[in-house]
Amino acid sequence: MTHNPIQTSLVDFDAVDSGASCIYGPVKSWRLGSSLGMDLLLNHSICSFNCVYCQLGDIQVKTAERKIYVPTEKVEHDLRLSDWETADLVTISGNGEPTLALNLGEVLQVIREYTAKPSTVLTNATLLNDPAVRADLNYADHVACKLDAASDVVLQRMNRPVAGIDMTSIVSGIKALRQSYDGKLSLQCMFMPTNHDDVDALVELVKDLDLDEIQLNTPKRPYPMSWLVENRGNHGEAIVESRVLKTISEDEAQRIESLFGDATQGRIPLISIYR
């Protein structure tokens, strides 16, 4: 298997010092099925968002700068040792925003060549205006973009992005990706009291996006008070001290689902954590 040479000066070798695996699971996902997790950030939580509901807790490294955190050779090594054959697909998410990994495209090629499993990238869509990021994502079978807000006020309240990221840049990035990406493009929307004010505006915003699916969610996983690498794939009981987050009710979820269904005239499949 051949890959483009890695610029070692861009590798954060602290990320691999502990010997932790960048592969976890497979885990059962209500959206994706049996998913083998792949973490290209590893030893720290690293993201351009610091969402109030993040399953990782308070993000340790807040950045929009791309670099290599886990060398592709380690990804291949850990993948071979994993239980990848029992998974339905490979999902790149892990300890933060996966498009921050400069070797994302290379790793997606490894998944395709080594496992022949479909790949999904879960992204907060903050880097999609970068043509290099969009080129990397073309190797993914499925890209799921986060969109929890329709206004900068709620974006700051809910997702707390790093400087330079606003609603205009996020929406333009999603639209730019759709222009060049032929795979499945989903939207993940998290609903809680924090963004209740933006529901109607978000429904209107989605009308202008060419999507293949909309995923409606509410935070069922607790918010950890400290970081632990195992938080990345935890779908069960809290493994560190955590606090329970406020969710929306099933009735409210059904109301929101109806709003999206009416707005899109049923042309975009909707899936909900309550169904």
State the pairing for strand pair 89-92/61-62.
unpaired
Residue 10 is predicted with a pLDDT of 46
pTM as predicted: 0.91
pLDDT at 21 over 50: yes
Report pLDDT for 30. Answer: 73
pLDDT tens by residue, 96-149: 999 999 999 999 999 999 999 999 999 999 999 999 999 999 999 999 999 999
Label residue 22 by pLDDT band (50, 70, 90).
very high
pLDDT over threshold 90, residue 239: no
Q: What is the pLDDT of residues 261-274, one digit of tens each?
A: 999 999 999 999 88
Specify the pLDDT at position 218: 95
| pLDDT value, residue 114 | 96
| Class of domain 12-272 as given by CATH | alpha beta
> What mean pLDDT is reported for the chain?
91
Q: What residue ranges do the domains of the chain occupy?
A: 12-272
pLDDT given for residue 18 in this prediction: 55
Return the pLDDT at 37.
96
Provide the percentage of residues in the chain whose pLDDT is more than 90: 81
